[in-house]
């Protein structure tokens, strides 16, 4: 049966009288409980349903036109055999090889570090990789700072031998500050990697930690030089030297600060 014939048959078929009576009662039309239903009610019934169907069709068509394809890789019509990234609203300049389209919505990104590289657009993958590297540097710097606080900060040479004291035993207050701040910076970086929800003020906390630790390391080195001058005045055979722990704490502070700045700038 052709579409034209089917359309005429559909239009000629009248609805059931019971359906027309029910519709008429719901819409305030006077209708008899029995007997023949007036043709005017049939016409009103069909007109109302035809208008409702047209409205539904227009609404469906509008929704379909308003929904763009989700972000993803699609075949590049200008370059056969390649795919191009669609960001949800426009084509980007990112392309890759592959004949099969990977058309799927990009899941919501949990955090700058938490999403896998396959879930991100090419630009976002670069940012995420930078932030992961910066976070790893901050964590490494925090570990080095703690180790440096436990290594010798001062070594005193005398005619009878040498004596070394760690930061924790020679200047426990400064060493404790370095350890606590380094652990704070390391845990913050670890939380970013793990996708924890962190307060916004922690964004630049690593920069502050690096600056404070660096100032403490410089001050501790200055104290050792003063001790050396006093020892030389007392006896030329006695001298004090800056220990490896102070140098390591200073280097760790720089690593923490630079890594934190890199991570913060990549999020801007």
Tell me, letter by letter, the H, E, C secondary structure of the chain.
CCHHHHHHHHHHCCCCHHHHHHHHHHCCCCCCCCCCCCHHHHHHHHHHHHHHHHHHHHHHHHHHHHCCCCCEEEECCCCCCEEEEECCCCEEEEEEECCCCECCCCCCCCCCCCCCHHHCCHHHHHHHHHHHHHHHHHHHHHHHHHHHHHCEEEEEEECCEEEEEEHHHHCHHHHHHHHHHHHHHHHHHHHHHHCCCCCHHHHHHHHHHHHHHHHHHHHHHHHHHHHHHHHHHHCCCCEEEECHHHHHHHHHHHHHHHHHHHHHHHCC
Extents of the domains making up the chain: 3-66, 68-106, 122-266
pTM for this entry: 0.53
CATH architecture assignment, domain 122-266? Up-down Bundle (1.20)
pLDDT digits (tens, 9 = 90+) for 165-210: 998 888 889 999 999 999 999 888 888 777 777 777 777 788 899 9
1 confidence band (pLDDT: 50, 70, 90): very low
2 confidence band (pLDDT: 50, 70, 90): very low
Assign domain 3-66 one CATH number from 3.40.50.460, 3.20.20.370, 1.20.120.430, 4.10.320.10. Answer: 4.10.320.10
73 confidence band (pLDDT: 50, 70, 90): confident
């Amino acid at each position: 049966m052709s579409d034209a014939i089917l359309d005429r048959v559909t239009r000629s078929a009248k609805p059931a009288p019971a359906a027309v009576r029910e519709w008429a009662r719901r819409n305030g039309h006077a209708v008899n409980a029995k007997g023949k239903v007036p043709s005017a009610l049939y016409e009103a019934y069909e007109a109302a349903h035809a208008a409702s169907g047209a409205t539904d069709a227009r609404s469906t068509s509008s929704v379909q036109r308003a929904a763009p394809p989700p972000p993803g890789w699609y075949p590049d019509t200008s370059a056969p055999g390649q795919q191009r990234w669609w960001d949800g609203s426009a084509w980007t300049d990112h392309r890759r090889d592959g004949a099969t389209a990977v058309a799927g919505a990009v899941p919501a990104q949990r955090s700058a570090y938490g999403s896998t590289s396959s879930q991100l657009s090419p630009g976002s993958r670069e940012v995420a990789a930078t932030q992961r590297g910066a976070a790893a540097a901050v964590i490494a710097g925090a570990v080095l700072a703690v180790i440096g606080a436990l290594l010798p900060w001062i070594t005193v040479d005398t005619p009878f031998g040498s004596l070394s004291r760690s930061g924790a035993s020679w200047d426990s207050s400064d060493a404790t500050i370095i350890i606590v701040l380094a652990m704070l910076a390391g845990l913050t970086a670890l939380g970013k990697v793990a996708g924890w929800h962190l307060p916004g003020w922690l964004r630049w906390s690593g920069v502050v930690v690096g600056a404070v630790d660096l100032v403490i390391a410089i001050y501790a080195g200055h104290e050792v030089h003063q001790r050396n001058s006093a020892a030389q005045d007392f006896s030329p055979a006695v001298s004090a030297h800056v220990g490896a722990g102070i140098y390591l704490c200073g280097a760790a502070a720089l690593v923490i600060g630079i890594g934190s700045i890199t991570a913060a700038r990549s999020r801007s």
